Structure 1
Amino acid sequence: MANKLLSEMGLPKSIANIFAARNLITAKDVFSLTEFELMELLDVDLAVVTSAVAHISEFTCPPYQTALSLLEQRRQNENMAGHLPTCLKGLDNALCGGIPFGVVTELVGPAGIGKTQFCLKLSLLASLPSSYGGLDGSVIYIDTESKFSSRRMIEIGYNSFPEVFHTEGMAQEMAGRILVLRPASLSEFTDSLQKIKVSLFQHNVKLLIIDSMAALLSGEGVQGPQRQHSLGWHISFIKSVAEFSRIPVVITNQVRSQSRDETSHYSFQG
């Protein structure tokens, strides 16, 4: 909640511009300062600061819920539960129908094992017309290692779903439903996540893929407790996206060698 953007909170334009000019971007930036520190930094009186902080607090604090509303929400989520079939019979049986909606599913394995190829096929399955067993929606594909290949995706389409892809214009239509983001840094990746919740309904998104996040953190040179803190925040946000939208979210991850021949991977709980 504290990482919500001030620009999305409906603050009066005059105070919103002052916050932006002082590089206060999120609710966390504001809450990390006292009211008197904000007065000095923003050069405004206490009444303005108090009003702005109250507005931000009201916007960021989760609303109270009754036990009855929580029960009704759970029933609704159970009714909306579903799976994205992978078209691999053994895997679909093991997963009770496919990639589940509303949770984060992690694909782990060494480099070159086929995780990206599997994600490309999942993207096609999500964008397939419902008459062919797909979700008939768009896909957000966050490609942090520049491994996404549109040519390979089309090849998979022609081989796996020839009856669809040989229909005139269908390959172009489905390819147009897959929105690829290529953040070059951790900050760009974070910005991409912030924008995703808005895009989910604008583009009828039915699948989110992140391929892969740990590689992006490795590129930043983030280590130790700082890595765990960053992973924790990002995964918490991604889980909230899955639960909020009730769509399948897939993250790939690699087994990485460390010093002294240790091996580890970064595990995310769905």
Structure 2
Amino acid sequence: METKLKDMGLPKSIANVFAARNITTAKEALSLTEFELMQLLDVGLADVASAVARISEIACPPYQTVLSLLEQRIQKETHGGHLPTRLKGLDKALCGGIPFGVLTELVGPAGIGKTQFCMKLSLLASLPEAYGGLNGRVIYIDVESKLSSRRIIEIGAESLPEIFHIKGMAQEMAGRILVLRPSSLLELTESLQQIKVSIFQHQVKLLVIDSMAAAVSRDYGHAAPRQHPLGWHISFIKSLAESSRIPVVVTNQVRSQSRDEACQYAFQEQSKRKASEAPAGYDSHLVAALGIHWAHAVTIRLVLEAKSGQRFIKLAKSPISPPIAFPFTITSSGISLLNDDGQELKGTEISTIQYQGFHKDIFL
């Protein structure tokens, strides 16, 4: 819309009139009605209509067909790529793994396996390309100091024995994972500003922030601030993902859902009553901690939850896949799916976060 009128090939007579009235861009011209332009330019309706049609044709985006959009998406994905999680069913649902250039969120209760997932992804990103990795560095922003170097080596040795048994490979891969530990939202902000250049200079192939919600809670506590504190961070991280074309993975915590949040509309009262009848020990009122502003910024949302003593990883939001859940367990080699088929989700199953009958094991 900032296209200059002088570059649009308008008839010289009408172009000179626009210039004389200090209307120099398409945006300025199209912000006025044809009758307002007639009065301002002192020319006839036919000349104004012809000029507006010409300006609109050049400045406004043309119509596109669904076929052309599909072709563009395929081309973008081909040049974009994915980081495979090596969880076969999940990779299939994600059309290859964690996508480049967008924001992927892991949300779930404490101890459910979010950090385990992030540590495995970090290893896979640092893996040589010959073994299916990205052969790059990883920046891991460890807000809660949960990353364990011992556990990373254990996951690598158990899940990638053919690689970790090569002399010096474990040290080389571990040396590619760069860890930052900001103690506040301000320090997190400074870290993000500093790594923007590092991503391009040091062949960084994955950015992990574990967890964004923890940084906010340190400054604001568990009560949500009146104004969303992550406006700048949302824009910056999305821009960083798009410009660098790397996968960006951010973990998010959960919080209890208030009645006001659960029942904003009359038709939600019935589901609220059903939820209140759930068995004892069943918490069906957990929601992602960072709220709706953050949720809109996320392209892929993976929910890690538990019910009846079983963990599930749920693809709750994706532009390319229906909602689907996979049962998983955590072993010495990291997260493993119990089956690759998954179960398609419907209704409230998509958005709820369950945490029932579950006890933490030794893998924190």
Deviation at 1:202, TM superposition (A): 1.6
Deviation at 1:194, TM superposition (A): 0.4
- Contact kept, 8 Å, 1:141 with 1:210, in 2: the verdict is yes
Using the size of structure 2 for normalisation, the TM-score is 0.52
The structure-2 alpha-carbon separation of the partners of 1:189 and 1:269, relative to structure 1 and needing over 3 Å to count, comes to: same
1:85 matched to 2:84: yes
Using the size of structure 1 for normalisation, the TM-score is 0.69
Helix, strand or coil at the partner of 1:183: coil
Aligned to 1:238: 237
Cα RMSD, aligned residues only: 2.4
The one-letter amino acid paired with 1:150 is: S
- Contact kept, 8 Å, 1:126 with 1:207, in 2: the verdict is yes
Aligned to 1:6: none
Measured against aligned partners, the alpha-carbon deviations of 1:42-101 in whole angstroms (never above 9, x if no partner) come to xxxxxxxxxxxxxxxxxxxxxxx9979xx9xx7885552110000000110111110000
Aligned to 1:108: 107
The one-letter amino acid paired with 2:236 is: F
Helix, strand or coil at the partner of 2:130: helix
Deviation at 1:255, TM superposition (A): 1.2
Aligned to 2:169: 170
Q: Which consecutive residues of structure 2, in runs of 5 or more, have no partner in the other structure?
A: 1-58, 63-67, 260-282, 300-364
- Please identify which structure carries the higher strand content: 2
- Please identify which structure carries the higher helix content: 1
1:155 matched to 2:178: no
Q: Which consecutive residues of structure 1, in runs of 5 or more, have no partner in the other structure?
A: 1-64
Distance across 2 between alignment mates of 1:206 and 1:227:
33
Aligned to 1:4: none
Measured against aligned partners, the alpha-carbon deviations of 1:181-214 in whole angstroms (never above 9, x if no partner) come to 0001111100001011100022100000000011
Measured against aligned partners, the alpha-carbon deviations of 1:127-160 in whole angstroms (never above 9, x if no partner) come to 0000000000000000000001011000000001
Distance across 1 between alignment mates of 2:140 and 2:175:
12
2:286 to 245, 263, 267: 263
Aligned to 2:54: none
Aligned to 2:207: 208
Helix, strand or coil at the partner of 2:230: helix
Distance across 2 between alignment mates of 1:77 and 1:90:
23
Distance across 2 between alignment mates of 1:80 and 1:259:
43
Distance across 1 between alignment mates of 2:257 and 2:103:
26
Higher gyration radius (CA):
2
- Contact kept, 8 Å, 1:139 with 1:206, in 2: the verdict is yes
Deviation at 1:232, TM superposition (A): 2.4
**Identity of aligned pairs, percent?**
71
Aligned to 2:93: 94
Deviation at 1:264, TM superposition (A): 2.7
